[in-house]
Chain A
Amino acid sequence: MSAFIKAISYYLPPAKFTNSDYFNVFPEMAENKNLERVGVKERRIVDPHLTSSDLGVSAAENIFLEHKIDRNEIDFILYCSLESDYPLPATSMVVHKRLMLSRNCGAIDLSVGCSGYPYALSIAKGLIESSGFKNILIINSSTLTKTIHLKDKASRFIFGDGAAATLVSSRDDNWGIGEFIFGSVSKMTDAIIIKDGGTRNPISESSYIDYKDDYGNITDNAHLYMDGPSVFNFGLKAVPQMISDLLIKSKTELENIDLFIFHQANLFFIDSIRKKLLIPEEKVFNFMETVGNTVSASIPIAIYEAQKSGKIKSGSKVLLAGFGVGLSTGTTIIHF
């Protein structure tokens, strides 16, 4: 009895924010050819009246339709997002209600960002292989653009909104989800943070005082702050190390991995990590040009597109590497 990824679908909100739109807002960036190395040409922006659960519900309805899944057979839902509808109850309950899932279906939230997909997969695997569950619905949803300051030129270029739904089920033959390595570099909690609006620092007038970082990005304590260079340095060290640890734990070699899918943070970031690990270009699949960085939805969206383009086939061994806010890392190998 092995857990495996049976199906994935995703949903993107319709409104686009293209690079042309971006340069209208930030004309001073138009001559910065280095931006091309981020790898994003357009990204989707959620309607401000909608929440991440709205995108999550749409992704789930897509998976039920596209893969002809009976929603009554879902016995657990893992809702992974950094944004919640209410302080309580958990957003997974709100999604459960809207999807009209079974009363016998468990539901919890996972408040994890860019490393969220491997974490969600580890829980789904445990539920199936240790506790006899059969059909786990994982939803990864991001509406991070709602938290980005309008004058934060770096974050407005990188991030896009979207949601993915994954069905993890069980099969009798070949393993489907392998070992995991997780990491928590908690000394860097401040590297990616929204300081105010939680219970530690309630929103106040001072939350809206703008400040500029070393690179001309403007934000305030009520909006997203990201220290790009620190996160990059963390990635350059932590990601190759965790992949190396995973290969040892999995008793396999880099050469046995058919494809690598990294969290779609930024193409330059991924390419730098790829070079450090000496992975050939053709073994890395990226999908961010039209969607940007969709936080924990980025890996499942990329898997979907890799399958669609034939880069992932039955039997493929794919290494997934998530890393980001926390700063948190998670990696696993999937056997399709």
Chain B
Amino acid sequence: MGISEFIKKIEAEVEELTPDTLKPETAFRNLPEWSSMHALIIIALVDMEYDVTITGDDLRKCTTINDIYNFVISKK
């Protein structure tokens, strides 16, 4: 599973993101509408697609999309 595939899945799930909006270095918390719903969507996606649990605390330690991706990879 490469990071571009991971990014595509996030973009597909998060309503207002058009394709190719996110980059590995995107600081997701700076996205204009970043809210707890976005966190829930990422948690659900990581759980359903990759069978990995990412908690609020884990997300807190991530700054970029790359950080989230690396976390998921490390748990598989």
Q: Which of B23-68 contact A (CB under 8 A)?
A: 29, 32-41, 43-44, 47-48, 53, 55-56, 59-60
B16 at the interface (CB under 8 A from A): yes
Contact, CB under 8 Å: B40 / A232? yes
Give the shortest distance, in Å, between A54 (CB) and chain B (any CB).
Answer: 31
Q: Which residues of B contact A29 (CB under 8 A)?
A: 33, 35
Contact, CB under 8 Å: A268 / B37? yes
A86 at the interface (CB under 8 A from B): no
Q: Which of A38, A229, A268 meets B59, CB within 8 Å?
A: A229
Q: Which residues of B contact A153 (CB under 8 A)?
A: 35
Q: How large is the interface on A (under 10, 10 to 19, 20 to 34, 35 or more residues)?
A: 20 to 34
With A230-B55, A233-B55, A236-B47 known to touch, is A217 a contact of B36 (CB < 8 Å)?
yes
How distant is the Cα of A266 from the Cα of B40 in the complex, in angstroms?
Answer: 11
Contact, CB under 8 Å: B59 / A32? no
Contact, CB under 8 Å: B44 / A228? no
B73 at the interface (CB under 8 A from A): no
B12 at the interface (CB under 8 A from A): no
Contact, CB under 8 Å: B59 / A236? no
Q: Which of A228-264 contact B (CB under 8 A)?
A: 228-230, 232-233, 236-237
A residues with CB within 8 A of B: 28-29, 31-38, 153-154, 213-217, 227-230, 232-233, 236-237, 266, 268-269, 272, 275-276
Interface centre among B38, B40, B55 (most CB of A within 10 A): B40
How distant is the Cα of A28 from the Cα of B44 in the complex, in angstroms?
Answer: 24
Give the shortest distance, in Å, between B71 (CB) and chain A (any CB).
Answer: 14
Q: Which residues of A contact B47 (CB under 8 A)?
A: 236, 272, 276
With A268-B44, A272-B48 known to touch, is A229 a contact of B39 (CB < 8 Å)?
yes
Q: Which residues of A contact B53 (CB under 8 A)?
A: 233, 236-237
Residue of A nearest to B40 (CB): A232
Contact, CB under 8 Å: B56 / A32? no
Contact, CB under 8 Å: B39 / A215? yes
Contact, CB under 8 Å: A236 / B44? yes
Q: Which residues of B contact A229 (CB under 8 A)?
A: 36, 39-40, 43, 55-56, 59
Contact, CB under 8 Å: A232 / B16? no
